[in-house]
Every structure is written in C-alpha cells, then in structure tokens.
Amino acid sequence: MNPQNIFAPLPAPSPSEIFTALLDGQAFKLQRIVSTGQTSPPGQWYDQDTHEWVLLLSGGARLRIDGEAGLLQMQPGDYVHIPAHVRHRVEWTDPNQETVWLALHYQPHSGHPQGNAAGTVGGL
C-alpha cells in the first residue's frame, strides 16, 4: 500500500472541470474535482438525488444555493453540506489557480437529519 497525494498529479488546465473518482462504494462516491475558472452554465442548477459534502482544499469559489440570499464565499478549509435536492450552482472559481475540491456524495439515511446548506458551512 502506497500513500497518494490529493494534489499530485493535478491535471493540466481544461475547458471543463476534471472529476477524479477516489473511492466508490455502494452508498457513496468520493471525488476530487479540479476547477480552473469554470462555473455552472447559465441557468443550470444541480439538483442531485444524493447528499453532497464538499470541502475546498485550494483556490477559491462562490456557490449559490437556491432560496438563500447572497453567495457562499469559499476559501481553503471551508466545507458545506448540501442536502439531496437542494438546488445549487457554482458562480465562480479562481481563474488564476487550481481550485481543488473534495466531494462526498452519499445516499440519504433513514432517520438522518437533512439540515440546510447555509447552516452547515464551515469557516464562513
């Protein structure tokens, strides 16, 4: 067993975000996402069947959560939990450096409180 590094190797800049599967289980998926200035296309919202917990490791980003006032400004170390079917979009990622995310998608668990996205942002 050899350790791996979340930052190495980072892919070359691309017109689209780069998704790399790190772990994939029956009820979860862990991904590294690398953004280089990408945003959600105009008018597109993510509306997922799974919960998503996302941690910003490097770079910077701004997220919009449907129904919430303002944007979530994210910097390295910040994380947010987005419950299933809470519409959200990426409004900005830093075009001058790689924005590296760690995203955990998991199935809702019966009896698990769903919370809300705005109330679970770490460090904001």
Residue 58: CATH number of its domain: 2.60.120.10
Comparison of pLDDT for 70 and 117, the residue scoring more: 70
Q: In whole angstroms, what is the distance from residue 15 CA to residue 18 CA?
A: 9
How many structural domains comprise the chain?
1
Pairing of strands 99-106, 28-35: antiparallel
pLDDT for position 12: 86
| 63 domain-assigned | yes
Q: How confident is the model at residue 39 (pLDDT cuts 50, 70, 90)?
A: very high
What is the chain's mean pLDDT, rounded? 89
Share of the chain above pLDDT 70, in %: 88
| 74 domain-assigned | yes
Q: How confident is the model at residue 99 (pLDDT cuts 50, 70, 90)?
A: very high
pLDDT for position 13: 84
- Evaluate if residue 33 carries a pLDDT over 60: yes
- Evaluate if residue 120 carries a pLDDT over 50: no
Range of the domain at 88: 31-92+101-108
| 83 domain-assigned | yes
